[in-house]
Amino acid sequence: MQRLITNWKFAWQAASRFVAGSSIQEAIPIVRDLNNRGFDVTLDHLGESTTTTEEAIRATDQILELLDAIDAAAIRANVSVKLTQIGLSLDQELCQSNLEKILLRARQYHNFVRIDMEDSPYTDETLRIYRGMRAKGHDNTGVVIQAYLYRSEADAKALLEDGTRIRLVKGAYKEPAAIAYPKKSDVDANYDKLANIMIGCRTMGADSPVGVDGRFPPVPAIATHDAIRIANVKAELAQQHLPNGTVEFQMLYGIRRDLQEQCIREGYPVRIYVPYGTHWYAYYMRRLAERPANVWFFLSNYFRK
């Protein structure tokens, strides 16, 4: 199926709604356009978990090239990284070495690297490696917390005490009920709770250096396309008499563009998660799975001449 779809011209035309090209050269104009419309960006070089040391090193080199390209193009963008892409599932020391190279290059450009959170087998290792980087003085990094895990409240509170820049998401992996809320309503309630905790820590990261171009303001990142969750965050800010810039809303490229534009018009910072790269198949399939309308759009065009 992957070979069939990736060789089908329309499949790429459809996927390009969610993926900003197969190369950084194709992604940069899209990022620049988003910047011109008021959005900040985080770029993700797509790639699944690597299976060899050579693949992990190659993925690391591609992320280093991405940081170089961001600086050369003078676009407002930071970088998101999955640790399995740079070797976590192979060798933790390899992964740490690769991550440190990325953080050092980002520091050179006064840029920021967000460590994405993956499925639960990697949660402890991801947080341990993140804390190890912070202990070495790499304060230009942050992590992701997933609201569907029972442990996330304790994790978030501990991370906030350390001044961690957190991106809050609901969570997209299939997890057992023993460790994750099985009901959407419970995930939503926990998301709101965690968002309020993060807003309450509005001085989070105040002592950490901020890039001279403001690429990574020390504010909580509220990542969701759920209009109710966004409205609840706005209400919490109003109740606490906090300015719109207290939080940064984050959304995926091509998803709920109406909400993205609305938040910008209302004066809230918005950062768009922009993936690019040749390994777009798995990412696109996840986007199709999230909304039936996306599947219908894809299938209805399959039968058109």
> Any catalytic annotation for residue 167?
yes
Catalytic residue among 167, 215, 271, 287: 167
Catalytic residue among 40, 44, 116, 192: 116
Residues 251 and 259 sit within 8 Å (Cβ to Cβ): yes
> Any catalytic annotation for residue 105?
no
Active site residues: 116, 167
